[in-house]
Amino acid sequence: MKRRKRAGHLKIFTTSLIIIAFITMVIATRVIFANASNNADSGEVAEDEFPLAINHLLTNDLSDLPEAEKLDAQIEKFMREWRIKGASIAIMKDEKLIYTKGYGWADEEDSVRTDVRHIFRIASLSKLITATTIMTLVEDNLIKLSSRPFAKGGILDLPLFNNIKDKRVRDITIEDLLRHRGGFTLRGGDPLFNTPLVRSRMHLDSVPGPDDVIAYSISHKLGFTPGKGTRYSNLGYLILSRIIEVVSGMKYEQYVKERVLLPAGIYDMHQAKNFYEEKFPNEVRYYEPDNEELVEAYDGSGSMRPRCYGGNNIEGLMGAGAWVASPSELLLFVASIDGKPNVPDIISKKSINMMTSCPPQVLPMGWAKVNANGDWSRTGTLSGTSALLKYQRDGYSWVLITNTSSWKGARFPRHIDALFNKAMQRVIVWPERNLFDTKPLL
């Protein structure tokens, strides 16, 4: 009798263990799927298993070269003259990274010197990434450059975008957006940098999202017929960012990373955050000119903030200007879209040719300037940063980014260009090497 009771108790105990294990498994499964869903919603890509990014494998010491001492001196002099806190450069020859170094302060308040590993807001250099991503969608036959996103049945024929005041909006093509020919002007200001106005006009009780900014903009009359003129437009690249999301079914950042950056071997580019407290661990601090005035905060709180930390909604720029990156990974990206043989390209030769050619008086796709000789360039300016990327016919390519803006604004990259041309003449011969091939120390 006692044996039967013991067996019964053992059976009940065993059954209880099975039930508990099953419940634990169900709960764990739900947690896993919840976390996966949250990651998908946030647009984040799991990065813990990625190889180390090239900017984390390199240091300033690797470019302490006697051949480049005069170049370093020119850059440091330039920084003193323009009161630039920190800067970083990278130089590539025939798709080989030959030089990369940081200068000055990454964060003066925390006594952090700028090193190769640091990432910066790259402002409108972001447009080159967005244009490349659009071309991947074209190559995958998911869109056409002639597609009209706001047309009936188009990619962005969504309820929120039905209040179209100017019927010509429905004629805008994806190529028009890429080439700044969508008909949008800055007659009423740039809506991406005027979120308090958009919030007020749209009667919103929260910060305007990308769709709100787009809806607000297309509820106004265009400045010119799409395809018949050219006006530089951040709005056009915000619309392209949303096209990428709608067509791919993924968050903009997530799709760009998975389809464009990761295949190129790029692991440390991200969409920026608005405040210093939210910056990435290896991101620099941003500085404005001493006389820069505070502005109304983008979030409608009524507080006064510096433009670089709360005055502008940097996150809201998306593909128009929100990426952060290091110069070395930017050059690796360029080597992946230049049609040359040393680094595998992530888009076709046809797409590269389309991005780097344009008729007179028409802007290229993603790039700011191109010519038939093979010179391409892209500038970027935000409060707190200036950037210039140049791809040259002589095989040299370079990028310089600062963490300090200038009162010259969008004209400041011209001074960076003049500096670099002068500094490069100080180097008689560069060492034969390729820092892209740097391996992690074991």
pLDDT above 90 for 146 = yes
pTM given for the model? 0.88
Rounded Cα gap, residues 45 and 262, in angstroms = 10
Q: Is the dihedral of CA 296, 298, 303, 308 positive or negative?
A: negative
Per-residue pLDDT, 399: 97
- 424-126-185 Cα angle (round to 5): 110
Would you place residue 198 in the very low, low, confident or very high pLDDT band (cuts 50, 70, 90)? very high
Q: How confident is the model at residue 335 (pLDDT cuts 50, 70, 90)?
A: very high
Closest C-alpha to 125, from 342, 416, 441? 416
Going by pLDDT thresholds of 50, 70 and 90, the confidence category of residue 49 is low
Q: Are 183 and 172 in contact, with CB atoms under 8 Å apart?
A: yes
Residue 10 in this model has a pLDDT that exceeds 70: no
Map out the domains of the chain with their CATH numbers.
57-437 (3.40.710.10)
Instruction: Tell me if 419 sits within 8 A of 72, measured CB to CB.
Output: no
**Angle at CA 128, nearest 5°, toward 57 and 352?**
100
Q: In the prediction, which pLDDT does 47 show?
A: 59
Please name the helix (run of DSSP H) or strand (run of DSSP E) that holds residue 294, with its range, or none: none
Query: What pLDDT sits at residue 359?
Result: 87
Quote the pLDDT of residue 36.
35
The string of pLDDT tens digits covering residues 267-317 is: 999 999 999 999 999 999 999 998 889 999 999 888 999 999 999 999 999
Confidence of residue 75 (pLDDT cuts 50, 70, 90): very high
Q: Residue 231: phi, psi to the nearest 5?
A: -140, 125
Cα 392 from Cα 424, distance rounded (Å)? 13
- Give the C-alpha separation, 372 to 350, whole Å: 15
Structure tokens at 220: 């106004």
